Amino acid sequence: METLSKHEVFGGTLGYYRHASTSTQCAMRFTVFVPPKPTGAGLIFLSGLTCTEENFTTKAGAYRVAAELGLTIVVPDTSPRGDDVPDDESISLGKGAGFYLNATQEPWKKNYQMESYVAQELPALIEKEFAVKKFGLFGHSMGGHGTLTIGVKYKDRFHSFSALAPVCNPSVGGWGAAALEAYLGHDTGQWAQHDATQLMKTTKGDLPLILIDQGLADGAYKEGRLNPEAFVAACEQVGQPVKLRTHEGYDHGYFFIQTFIDDHLRHHAQQLGA
Catalytically active residues, by annotation: 141, 218, 252
**Residues 214, 260: contact at Cβ < 8 Å?**
no
Contacts of 194 (CB under 8 A, 6+ apart): 99, 101, 115, 145, 149, 170, 171, 180, 184
Strands (E), 88-195: 134-140, 158-164
CA dist list (Å): 1 to 20, 33, 46, 88, 114: 7, 16, 20, 29, 18
Q: Give the separation between CA 258 and CA 40, rounded to whole angstroms.
A: 24
Q: Give the separation between CA 157 and CA 123, rounded to whole angstroms.
A: 8
Q: Is 116 helix (H, G, I), strand (E, B) or coil?
A: helix
End-to-end CA distance of the chain: 27
